[in-house]
Amino acid sequence: QSISAMGVWNIIQALGKKVSVEEKELVKQHKKGRLEGKKTVPVLFEETDGVNIRLQGKDRKETKNGKAEMKAAIAYDGWKEESHGRYRLNGKVVFAGFAKSKEFHQIREAKIAREYNLDEVVCRILNGDGAGWIKKVPDKDTLFQLDVFHRNEAVREKIPHREAQEAVFSFLGKQDLIGLFDYLETYQNSLSEEEEVQNIADLIRYFRNNEEGLIPYRERGLALPESPEGLQYRNMGTMEGNNWSILANRMKHGHRSWSRRGANHLAKLLAKKSEGKLEEVTGRMERPTFETLLVEETIDETLSAAKAPVREGKGYEPAVRGSLAAINAALRGDPIKLFGLAGY
């Protein structure tokens, strides 16, 4: 019932590659207009963020600080109450991986289109920390909301005086953006320390770049359609928690480091797991693929067609290094999961 760590890793890489290929095919189908999800909802909520992952080996040497940003996104149609005061996101679609901005949004859009009929969506709301790549969405009618946590964190980080912080929050609460920027400029002129002046300048720039999203969507007086039965529209800002559960808890902490390829493939599976669809991948994993992985692990060198047995010793004589004796025996515990992944 034993399988080596490398054997497990090979399975993860094969499954992750399978998801990557599927995503590229989804993008092609979406560009041809062939994706039309079955779910029909009036409002679609979307959140996007990035997580810095430590790299290793040659990938680490190719970066300035040894890290790379892995992008992650979720989409859902509302909040469903599970028990008193406890809610979960409904109809969640998850995407994660290393990708440039354009590719990221293409895959994200295709995955959403596979689940939701976007032609029937009246309003799409995107929550993010204000990074430039986040707002480069294909649907230009998408409403942007600056993540409230990041917005408030910037205020507390850049403004050292408590009274000034409270004044800024007051202007935001009153939705008085003209008064907000006037106050920040006046406050900046009252400072003498160069570092403090620069911090306020950075905060003003951050707010200007995200001015359209400074007010949360629920405070804008939007005439949103009624939520579907059983769902509620609540405050957005769940991406930090989702980043932790999807990526950071597994990949970022404990001084872990990754190759780009390995991290990308694992992230694909973690995203599938988060949206409850990991079996979509493992269920379609063909048995010959698993057997090939085992052969790669147990054979020193696979003979190529160009190397006939006449040229290479006595022929094909693999050296067995592992055991799969439990295939035909009763399984309990973790082995069930491992062989389940392989389609046995």
| pLDDT, greater one: 287 or 272 | 272
Residue 311's pLDDT is 45
pLDDT digits 0-9 by tens, 226-266: 999 999 999 999 998 888 889 988 898 778 899 999 999 99
Nearest one of 96, 104, 103 to 249, comparing CA atoms: 96
Average pLDDT over residues 159-183: 97
Is the predicted pLDDT of residue 318 greater than 70, yes or no? no
Residue 5's pLDDT is 87
Contact (Cβ atoms closer than 8 angstroms) between residue 233 and residue 193? no
Token couple for 184 = 């920040």
Comparing 12-26, 91-105, 194-208, 312-326, the range with the smallest average pLDDT is 312-326
Confidence of residue 299 (pLDDT cuts 50, 70, 90): very low
Confidence of residue 190 (pLDDT cuts 50, 70, 90): very high
Nearest one of 26, 43, 23, 46 to 34, comparing CA atoms: 26
- Rounded Cα gap, residues 2 and 179, in angstroms: 67
Residue 1 identity: Q
Residue 109's pLDDT is 97
What is the average pLDDT value for the chain, to the nearest integer? 86
Confidence of residue 312 (pLDDT cuts 50, 70, 90): very low
Rounded to 10°, the helix 194-209/177-189 angle is: 160
Comparing 102-106, 186-190, 301-305, 337-341, the range with the smallest average pLDDT is 301-305
Confidence of residue 333 (pLDDT cuts 50, 70, 90): low
Confidence of residue 332 (pLDDT cuts 50, 70, 90): low
Confidence of residue 291 (pLDDT cuts 50, 70, 90): very low
pLDDT digits 0-9 by tens, 130-162: 999 999 999 999 999 999 999 999 999 999 999
Residue 2's pLDDT is 79
Residue 85's pLDDT is 86
| pLDDT, greater one: 268 or 305 | 268
Confidence of residue 339 (pLDDT cuts 50, 70, 90): low
Residue 287's pLDDT is 47
